[in-house]
């Protein structure tokens, strides 16, 4: 598995333009919210009854597919970088909560589809500014790195881990130069 620095540098190599990054701060949360909304419509209950467990753990637990997938992705983020995973947990919790709440309302599928489409419009507008294809075209794992990239941008803007920020930026610029040379 690639390190957080390698993955963020790869992502940043096609996200160096400020306008592209701004559009991603709109598009990525919209896409995540729409997917969370859709996945929140799928729910299930787990019954836990065991004499070997403490009594307070027994009972019925209600889960949504959004919660299960978000938990799995969060584990991946914690493996990559604990501080960024903690930040993403705090910053993206409102998205998931509001998506779960919206899934109970009228027309969640149409709403999810519309928001998903609008989110991708912002993404592709951003890449028009960048004049570079999205990172996931060459590596589907980059779809998971996009949200972490936004959090990393905030993390670095707060002055945290300046050496990591510089390393990521330098690697990204080097990779971008290689991409440009390959095109020529």
Alpha helices in 81-158 (DSSP H): 82-103, 108-130, 142-157
pLDDT tens digit string along 126-171?
999 998 888 888 878 889 999 999 999 999 999 999 999 999 999 9
pLDDT of the residue at 181: 84
pLDDT of the residue at 180: 84
- Rounded to 5 degrees, what are φ and ψ at 13? -60, -25
Burial of 75 (0-12, 13-18, 19+ CB in 10 A): exposed
pLDDT of the residue at 142: 87
What is the spatial distance between Cα 172 and Cα 87, in angstroms, rounded to a whole number?
A: 23
pLDDT of the residue at 66: 95
pLDDT of the residue at 138: 81
Closest of 158, 182, 38, 43 to residue 90, by C-alpha: 158
pLDDT of the residue at 182: 81
**Which ranges of the chain have pLDDT less than 50?**
none
């Amino acid at each position: 598995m690639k390190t957080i620095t390698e993955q963020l540098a790869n992502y940043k190599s096609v996200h160096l333009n400020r306008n592209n990054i701004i559009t991603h701060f709109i598009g990525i949360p919209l896409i995540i919210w729409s997917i969370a909304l859709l996945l929140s419509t799928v729910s299930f209950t787990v019954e836990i009854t065991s004499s070997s467990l403490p009594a307070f753990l027994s009972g019925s637990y209600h889960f949504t597919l959004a919660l299960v997938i978000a938990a799995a992705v969060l584990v991946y983020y914690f493996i990559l970088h604990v501080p960024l995973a903690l930040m993403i947990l705090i910053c993206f919790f409102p998205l998931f909560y509001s998506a779960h709440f919206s899934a109970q309302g009228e027309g969640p599928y149409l709403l999810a589809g519309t928001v998903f489409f609008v989110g991708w419009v912002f993404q592709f507008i951003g890449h028009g500014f960048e004049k570079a294809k999205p990172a996931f075209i060459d590596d589907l794992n980059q779809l998971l790195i996009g949200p972490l990239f936004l959090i990393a941008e905030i993390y670095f803007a707060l002055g945290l881990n300046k050496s990591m920020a510089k390393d990521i930026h330098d690697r990204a610029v080097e990779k971008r130069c290689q991409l440009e040379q390959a095109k020529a």
